[in-house]
Amino acid sequence: MPQPSTPRRALGRPPRISRQEVVEKARRIVDEEGVGRLTMRRLAAEIGSTPMALYHHVRDKEELLVLLLDDYAERTLRRPEPPAHPRERIVTAAAAIHEVLAACPWIVEVLAADDLMSRSALWFVEQIVDGLVACGLSPERAVHGYRAIWYYTAGEIVVRATAARRRADESRATYRERVFADLDPSELPRLAQVADRWAPLTAEDTYLDGLRALVDGLIATR
């Protein structure tokens, strides 16, 4: 997936389309019409070529999506001035990744990515791992701590994005309401107590609160 360091143009027919053009056009389709509209056939048509020509520049659709995420991260991730306090460095780096990812919901399809191993995201991972070490964790526990933060962040985005997609479909949104409507207060008293506030409460953006709690818990000496 990383561009080969030597472009080494081999002999033979000169290429008419480039990997870069493929990614760029794919990005335009995704931005303008959503990731659901990105098909190899559609992309080929946009480029003015055939579906099979694409397979000379990306190995398959999954690689195309990963390239798209790399490209997006590279263009939008901006490194913040790292705060002096390591705890804040961790929070700031995680929040920066979260902000960028949350702004592009199509990401969910790719997020699957083991650890968001985009080159451009590595600096943020470094900030988090280093911040945890500076807080007294061993390098091993710091890596585990980074993973926990990544789980929390990826989960927030996946859950939120899907909830938003569901909400768009009016007829489906009522399921939760029905379940909450006939809750048995003697069996589930707490849920009954908050039942009518559930929707607004879960609509609030509490990513940062949860992140701070998690980071606090991770660095607390136990």
Phi, psi of 188 (to 5 degrees): -130, 70
**How far apart are CB 212 and a second copy at their closest, in Å?**
7
Of the candidates 13, 48, 138, 152, which has an alpha carbon nearest to the alpha carbon of residue 95? 152
Q: Which residue has the tokens 């700031």?
A: 92
**How far apart are CB 106 and a second copy at their closest, in Å?**
14
**How far apart are CB 72 and DNA at their closest, in Å?**
19
Classify the phi-psi angles of 116: left when phi > 0, otherwise alpha if psi is within -120 to 50, otherwise beta. left
**How far apart are CB 55 and a second copy at their closest, in Å?**
15
Task: Specify the length of the chain in residues.
Answer: 222
Residues 6+ apart with CB under 8 A from 215: 87, 90, 91, 94, 149
Of the candidates 97, 103, 66, which has an alpha carbon nearest to the alpha carbon of residue 79? 97
**How far apart are CB 43 and DNA at their closest, in Å?**
8
- CA 66 to CA 68: how far, in whole Å? 5
Applying CB under 8 A, does 142 fall inside the site for a second copy? yes
Q: Which amino acid is at 107?
A: I
Which partner in a second copy, DNA, none is near 39 (CB below 5 to 8 A by kind)?
A: DNA
Which partner in DNA, a second copy, none is near 1 (CB below 5 to 8 A by kind)?
A: a second copy
Task: For a second copy, give the closer residue by CB, 41 or 151.
Answer: 151
Among 153, 170, 186, 221, indicate the residue that binds a second copy (CB under 8 A). Answer: 153
Name the residues that contact DNA, by CB under 7 A.
9-17, 38-42, 49-53, 55-57, 60-62
150 CA to centre of own chain: 10
List of residues contacting a second copy (CB under 8 A): 1-2, 66, 111-115, 117, 119, 122-123, 125-126, 129-130, 133, 139-140, 142-145, 147-148, 150-156, 158-159, 161-163, 165-166, 175-176, 178-179, 183, 187-191, 193-194, 197-198, 201-202, 204, 206, 209-210, 212-218, 220, 222
